[in-house]
């Protein structure tokens, strides 16, 4: 793990605590919505949100990744509960899936993450952004037939993403629309330089202010028949009147089901899908990280495995790392995994101490927060940047977006991967680099990395491993003089290594990386030919 992965959480609480509040506000309706879409008890979604934040967050090496119940597993969970004959039996599959993920981590299956091209990962981020934006528009207008967290094109209410936009026109709630509009105004205003210059105002998280204003407006609207907001458009947390009732919300697994072969089949499906979704989100989270830290993927699989074992034991849904919450964390200024852990603590505190207060929050406020998250994930600048990188990058990027919007996350990524592989296999695949090293009289290691004629995205794993394993305080030269083709992903790995080299005490020289190749997206770093 690079040294920059080990930022001291105590020194970054000023950034992490406000970010944790934003992630908490985003995660809360998603945990409930995904549980509803999964046909599971609502409390199970909250349990997995807590486990994903506190347990997985503590064990994971991902600085920005946030785990919890995933929309991509909702259909699998729904069908499994029905086929197995009960939620208690399904929980046994969740526990077994956790053990399978643990084994995958120890077998170093996390290397799979390095074989996804960046065009597909950026397409995944933009596709999810567009999908979040489209799915939140009905909620913003007060039409809440489809539960939060449903990210499939064909929805659980038998409508689709676009037909829902038409249906909402017959069910517009003026009160919800006003609250959404006011919330959006606050969120956009709080993101401007004007507010950031005023220290007192800048200390107040915009999303938290939007929630407070939303609760106040909701209370005021109750006296006006034209503006009153129905209970369908308000957060609905389970409220326990005493400790016994609270702990009664936890469901224990039925271990008698261990004799049922279907339990093991379900466990394998959950483990594979959850691991794949986690590894995809790890790649996406790392690409959003301004410090270019690299998450140890095998450690992540082990953390997810332990999280699923504990979640299954106490009645929670399967957990994975999820891109919506991870992106919200990054956009809110999170720096370390303290923000992830804190958001799990906030969910726990909220359902124990203040469920009645949270049940005053209009879903329109949360829709406004997610609209902003979705827009930032799919902002026009991203499309422009990908287009400038050439059709080899732009086509898989665009195909992945279209696939995600019109099918689901994993299917869309699969379609994008097929296109990316088809394009890249036209180029020759050769050994990507040659390494020479020597030690001087002062025990300073001099390393020369000579890139081959062709470096493709299939070489990501070996290139990344080579650069990560270079000792700190070395003198390194990366020579691309003989390279005729280098994929954008390989250039990004070298650029990320350049950013990280200073903190590791590495003196780096790069020769001819951009000459007669791609234009550097990091011109300010002044990488020049020797």
3: pLDDT strictly greater than 70: no
Confirm if 29 and 363 have CB atoms less than 8 A apart: yes
Confidence of residue 23 (pLDDT cuts 50, 70, 90): very high
292: pLDDT strictly greater than 90: no
Collapse the DSSP code of 8 into the 3-class scheme (helix H, G, I; strand E, B; otherwise coil) and give the result: coil
Q: Which of 416, 395, 386 is nearest to 404 (CA)?
A: 416
520: pLDDT strictly greater than 50: no
How far, in Å, CA of 76 to CA of 276, rounded?
Answer: 14
Q: How far is CA 406 from CA 146, 211, 240, 358, 520, in A?
A: 16, 32, 40, 34, 33
User: Which tens digit of pLDDT belongs to each residue from 113-155?
Assistant: 888 889 999 999 999 999 999 999 999 999 988 888 888 899 8
* Rounded average pLDDT over 276-301: 93
* Rounded average pLDDT over 297-304: 97
User: Which tens digit of pLDDT belongs to each residue from 147-187?
Assistant: 888 888 998 778 899 999 999 999 999 999 999 999 999 99
* Rounded average pLDDT over 491-520: 80
Query: Dihedral angle at the C-alpha atoms of 516, 520, 525, 530, nearest 10 degrees?
Result: -10
Confidence of residue 441 (pLDDT cuts 50, 70, 90): low
How far, in Å, CA of 295 to CA of 488, rounded?
Answer: 20
Phi, psi of 160 (to 5 degrees): -130, 175
User: Which tens digit of pLDDT belongs to each residue from 374-405?
Assistant: 999 999 999 999 999 988 899 999 999 999 99
Residue 487, pLDDT score: 84
How far, in Å, CA of 301 to CA of 45, rounded?
Answer: 21
How far, in Å, CA of 115 to CA of 421, rounded?
Answer: 10
Domain ranges of the chain: 15-139+154-173+229-365, 378-424, 433-525
Q: Which two tokens stand for residue 231?
A: 């209970």
Q: Which of 106, 171, 96 is nearest to 139 (CA)?
A: 171
**CATH number of 433-525, picked from 3.30.750.24, 3.10.350.10, 1.10.287.130, 3.20.20.70:** 3.30.750.24
Confirm if 293 and 322 have CB atoms less than 8 A apart: no
518: pLDDT strictly greater than 60: no
User: Which tens digit of pLDDT belongs to each residue from 237-288?
Assistant: 888 878 888 888 899 999 999 999 999 999 999 999 999 999 999 999 999 9
Q: Which two tokens stand for residue 259?
A: 């004799």
Least confident span in 52-61, 67-76, 364-373, 451-460? 451-460
* Rounded average pLDDT over 467-476: 91
Q: Which residues contact 303 (CB under 8 A, 6 or more apart)?
A: 55, 56, 59, 60, 61
HEC string for 349-373: HHHHHCHHHHCCCEHHHHHHHHHHH
How many CA atoms within 13 Å lie on the side-chain side of 82? Answer: 8
517: pLDDT strictly greater than 80: no
Confirm if 367 and 229 have CB atoms less than 8 A apart: no
How far, in Å, CA of 430 to CA of 452, rounded?
Answer: 7
61: pLDDT strictly greater than 60: yes
Cut 0.85: pTM above it = no
Collapse the DSSP code of 124 into the 3-class scheme (helix H, G, I; strand E, B; otherwise coil) and give the result: helix
User: In the predicted model, what is the mean pLDDT of the chain?
Assistant: 89
* Rounded average pLDDT over 362-372: 93
Q: Which two tokens stand for residue 529?
A: 């030919």
DSSP string, 428-477: -----EEEEEEE-TT-PEEEEEEE-SEE-GGGHHHHHHHHHTSPTT-EEE
Q: Which residues contact 338 (CB under 8 A, 6 or more apart)?
A: 9, 12, 13, 16, 17, 20
Phi, psi of 450 (to 5 degrees): -105, 120
481: pLDDT strictly greater than 80: yes
Q: Which of 2, 6, 28, 4 is nearest to 346 (CA)?
A: 28
226: pLDDT strictly greater than 70: yes
* Rounded average pLDDT over 58-71: 94
Residue 515, pLDDT score: 62
Q: Which residues contact 118 (CB under 8 A, 6 or more apart)?
A: 287, 393, 457, 488, 489, 492
Q: What percent of the chain has pLDDT over 90?
A: 64
Collapse the DSSP code of 186 into the 3-class scheme (helix H, G, I; strand E, B; otherwise coil) and give the result: helix
Confidence of residue 521 (pLDDT cuts 50, 70, 90): very low
* Rounded average pLDDT over 310-333: 95
């Amino acid at each position: 793990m690079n040294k920059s992965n080990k930022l001291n959480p105590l020194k970054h609480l000023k950034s992490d605590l406000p970010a944790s509040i934003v992630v908490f506000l985003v995660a809360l309706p998603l945990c409930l919505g995904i549980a509803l879409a999964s046909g599971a008890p609502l409390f199970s979604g909250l349990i997995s949100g807590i486990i994903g934040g506190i347990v997985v967050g503590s064990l994971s090496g991902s600085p920005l990744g946030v785990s919890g119940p995933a929309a991509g597993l909702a259909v699998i969970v729904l069908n499994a509960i029905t086929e197995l004959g009960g939620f208690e039996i399904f929980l046994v599959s969740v526990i077994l899936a956790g053990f399978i993920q643990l084994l995958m981590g120890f077998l170093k299956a996390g290397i799979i993450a390095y074989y996804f091209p960046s065009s597909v990962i950026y397409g995944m981020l933009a596709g999810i952004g567009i999908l979040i934006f489209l799915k939140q528009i009905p909620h913003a207008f007060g039409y809440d037939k489809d539960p939060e967290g449903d990210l499939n094109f064909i929805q659980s209410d038998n409508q689709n993403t676009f037909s829902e936009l038409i249906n909402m026109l017959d069910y517009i709630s003026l009160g919800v629309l006003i609250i959404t509009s006011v919330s959006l105004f606050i969120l956009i205003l709080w993101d401007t330089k004007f507010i950031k210059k005023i220290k007192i105002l800048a200390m107040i998280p915009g999303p938290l202010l939007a929630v407070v204003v939303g609760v106040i407006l909701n209370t005021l609207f109750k006296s006006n028949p034209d503006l009153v907001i129905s209970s369908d458009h308000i957060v609905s947390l389970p409220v326990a009147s005493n400790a016994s009732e609270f702990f009664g919300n936890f469901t224990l697994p039925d271990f008698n089901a261990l004799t049922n072969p279907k339990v093991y089949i379900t466990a394998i499906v959950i483990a594979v899908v959850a691991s794949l979704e986690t590894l995809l989100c790890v790649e996406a989270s790392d690409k959003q990280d301004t410090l270019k830290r690299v998450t140890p993927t095998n450690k992540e699989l082990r953390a997810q495995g332990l999280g699923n074992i504990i979640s299954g034991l106490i009645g929670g849904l399967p957990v994975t790392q999820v891109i919506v919450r991870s992106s919200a964390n990054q956009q809110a200024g999170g720096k370390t995994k303290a923000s992830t852990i804190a958001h799990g603590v906030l969910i726990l505190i909220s359902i124990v101490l203040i469920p009645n207060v949270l049940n005053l929050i209009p879903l329109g406020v949360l829709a406004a927060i997610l609209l902003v998250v979705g827009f930032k994930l799919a902002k026009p600048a991203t499309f422009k940047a990908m287009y400038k990188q050439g059709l080899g990058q732009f086509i898989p990027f665009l195909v992945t977006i279209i696939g995600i919007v019109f099918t689901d996350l994993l299917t869309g990524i699969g379609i994008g991967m097929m296109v990316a592989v088809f394009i890249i296999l036209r180029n020759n695949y050769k050994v990507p680099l040659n390494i020479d090293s020597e030690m001087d009289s002062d025990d300073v290691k001099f390393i020369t990395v000579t890139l081959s004629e062709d470096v493709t995205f299939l070489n990501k794993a070996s290139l990344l491993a080579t650069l990560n394993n270079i000792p700190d305080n070395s003198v390194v030269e990366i020579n691309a003089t003989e390279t005729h083709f280098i994929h954008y992903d390989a250039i990004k790995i070298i650029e990320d290594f350049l950013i990280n080299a200073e903190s590791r005490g590495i003196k780096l020289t790069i020769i001819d990386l951009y000459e007669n190749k791609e234009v550097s997206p990091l011109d300010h770093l002044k990488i020049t030919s020797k």
